[in-house]
Amino acid sequence: MKKYHIFSRFFNSMGSFYNLSELAQYMAVFYFNMRTVHFHTQGKNFLELHEYAQELYEQAEEYYDDLVETAISFNEMVQPMFVTPGDCPPVTDVANMTPTDTIGVMLNGVRVLFDSLESITKEVYPSFVYSKIDSMLEWLDKQNYKLTQMSKEI
């Protein structure tokens, strides 16, 4: 997969890494954005995009739960689900979204989430945590491919 380092300048300037509770916030934003897309999809591809957005937010909810539970097990403070990272805003402009707009929102969400998960510093957590994150990255890679293909067909 081609890597989209949307926030690479931010990461480099901050010299920081994400902890699990911060990654959970990115997953929460992705979840809410996909719920928003699910309810505001329109056009000839409505059913396909509506159902796909549901698949995405259902999986994101499971991953969010897993990230939060793991973060709590490491005594990390977890923010409420509605607190969003400043560099990852929720989707709010949904009026008259075309199928192309919908896929664009989905693709951007997948890429932002991929970048945030990929940025976690290694050797901070036990290996089982990275196995979970690798599974999430693999899932996001597949979604990136699928959405890229869908964007070519619309």
Is the separation of the CB atoms in 88 and 116 below 8 Å? yes
- Distances 3 to 44, 112, 115, 144 between C-alpha atoms, Å: 31, 10, 8, 10
Up-side HSE of residue 112: CA atoms within 13 Å toward CB? 23
The ranges assigned to domains in the chain are 18-153
Q: Could you list the pLDDT tens digit for every one of the 154 residues in the chain?
A: 333 333 333 333 333 356 888 889 889 989 988 998 888 888 888 899 999 999 999 999 999 999 999 999 988 888 776 666 665 666 767 777 888 988 988 998 999 899 888 888 666 788 899 999 999 999 999 999 999 999 998 8
Is the separation of the CB atoms in 77 and 22 below 8 Å? no
Architecture of domain 18-153: Up-down Bundle (1.20)
Per residue, the 3-state secondary structure of 98-125, as one string, reads CHHHHHHHHHHHHHHHHHHHHCCCCCCC
